[in-house]
Amino acid sequence: MDESLSPAIHNAAFGALGLDWTYLTLPVPPGKLRRAIRELRATPHFAGANVTMPHKEGVVRLMDEVTEDAARLRAVNTIVVGVGGLAGHNTDAPGFTRFLEEDAGFDPAGRTALILGAGGAARACALSLARGGASSVTVAARDAGRAAAALRTLEGIPVRAVAISWSDAASVSADVVVNATPVTDPRQLPVPEIHSGQLVVDLWYRPMVTPLVAVAREAGAAAFTGLGLLVHQAALSFELWTGQAAPLPAMSAAALAALAVRATEEDGPPHQ
């Protein structure tokens, strides 16, 4: 889902703080990951890198050390180059926590959560909610085995973790519902009845108001796309690389501007 927003977000942050840094995209074809990591080690002046799919899991074994979150999630999305080698981090779970606190104003303590999907983003959201004190975290996936595997991320955390079938999700009562699947049409999602007082998060952020967010807002729920998570996890990466507080307003503005440009390009010029 990240595509090419990261250069705009990070370069805006570097500019806001007057840092002579540049964020570049370096496509890595399948089968070339090990070579790319060797080149990262050998190239001077790199402070680190982000890792996107499909390499987040494969890069774990190529790190000199990994953080607890990267180990739990079995995925690295941020590499920090240091004197001791390459450290693998995962900023998705703390990024979601920051989004909940700072953007959504939602405290998960004692609340119930339903997550649709069992991939890396779903695992990160589940970890964030469990650490935040959620009373229960339910994961629904088309593959029941994947749902159960996703919940192994929460081992050792005092939370009621439940894996259910995709079709059963519509009957779950939840204070927060997270769509962490590639499905964008709410009619194809087993979303419970949405009502006022709920929080609905659709991790898609294109369009800027996704169909699920529109439906949820119409029903009176607080609803957000995944743009907040994207910006907050990027801010955490920025802080790891630079040691400075991320300029969130500049990063958010850059993300919104980039999305607006894309929307204009996709829609084409207005009809005369």
- Report the DSSP pairing between strands 136-141 and 85-89: unpaired
3-state secondary structure of 78: strand
Q: Count CB atoms within 10 A of the CB of residue 110.
A: 11
Largest CA distance in the chain: 61
Has 32 been annotated as catalytic?
no
Length of the chain: 272
Instruction: Decide: 72 and 89 in contact? Cβ < 8 Å.
Output: no
Look up tokens 């907040």; give the residue: 228
Q: Count CB atoms within 10 A of the CB of residue 18.
A: 7
Instruction: Decide: 155 and 137 in contact? Cβ < 8 Å.
Output: no
> Which residues, 6 or more positions from 187, have their beta carbon under 8 angstroms from its beta carbon?
none
Q: Active-site residue among 12, 36, 37, 56?
A: 56
Nearest to 149 by CA among 133, 126, 176: 126
Instruction: Decide: 12 and 254 in contact? Cβ < 8 Å.
Output: yes
Inter-CA distances, 47 with 4, 41, 85, Å: 19, 10, 11
Instruction: Decide: 81 and 103 in contact? Cβ < 8 Å.
Output: no
Assigned token pair, 81: 């180059």
Assigned token pair, 33: 């990951």
Catalytic positions, written as ranges: 56
